[in-house]
Amino acid sequence: MGRAALVVHGGAGAPNQEEHGERQAAVDRALAAGWPELERSGALHAVLAAVRWMEDEPILNAGIGACLNSEGEIELDAGVMEGAQLRAGAVGAVRDVRHPVDLARAIMDDGRHVLLVAGGASRFAREHGVETCDPSVFMTERQLRNFRREGVDTVGAVAADAEGRTAVAVSTGGYTFKLPGRVGDSPLVGAGFYADDAAGAVCGTGHGEGFMRLVLAHLAVVELKHGMGAQEVAKGAIDFLRRKVDGEGGVILVTKAGEVAAAHNTPFMAWASRTD
């Protein structure tokens, strides 16, 4: 048993310095939304609450305000995993699911599959009572202004509760001007997220192709199993990302004992943490 801990991030790829304060404030609100769930219901409910909150923050690249692909459309990815039984659920390239992280949770609970994409994922949402919406709901004036400005962001959360249970949840719109149908690391178990109660939980943010090629989140959890400290693992993961594939991004992590860490090689990453 350890201490309860929650870490939340709002992306490491914001090029607009004027938005840094707004992004950090949104992450702080998500931390405040997730913490009561951690105390009341445990790690899984905490990360879902935090990420769901960020899907409603227009300043962040998830849900409302997500970036546009090369055809000016929004396609959303999300994933969730709990570390007790390594259950996971994920969704990719959906356009009409109000909270993609809710759909990822429903897929995990259903248990037949880990990842559903595009039209099949939307159909699953309708059949299982997950809220859908018109895609225009996600459009904001900010994202239309930024249509051709480079942007790579994700939102995510990792948690460990007092019983030693770990969980992670992620959500993203990908990156600006991506090809239609592109799916990044966020819904791929082991690439953008991973949780194992034997060690901890990790979540990444940045250009997802590098995380995918390195299976970086799982690698970080393995290093925790080998006994490396939380901050050493976080920094090592980002150093490895740069060294092997010239990648940019960040990670947040929590150990099963409630130790938290974060690292990034971008100029800015919005993140916040709390422990008991």
**Catalytic annotation, residues:** 154
Angle, helices 43-54 vs 100-110, to 10°: value is 150
Q: Using alpha carbons only, what angle is made at residue 97 by residues 94 and 102, rounded to the nearest 5 degrees?
A: 110
Q: Using alpha carbons only, what angle is made at residue 35 by residues 101 and 261, rounded to the nearest 5 degrees?
A: 85
3-class SS of residue 257: coil
Which residues have a Cβ under 8 Å from the Cβ of 10 and sit 6 or more positions away? 23, 24, 26, 27, 30, 54, 57, 60, 153, 155, 270, 271
3-class SS of residue 247: coil
Angle, helices 43-54 vs 20-41, to 10°: value is 150
Whole-angstrom distance, CA of residue 159 vs CA of residue 161: 7
- Specify whether the CB–CB gap between 212 and 188 falls below 8 A: yes
- Specify whether the CB–CB gap between 228 and 234 falls below 8 A: no
Q: Encoding tokens for residue 126?
A: 């309708």
For the sheet with 249-255, list strands across it.
Answer: 193-196, 200-206, 249-255, 260-264
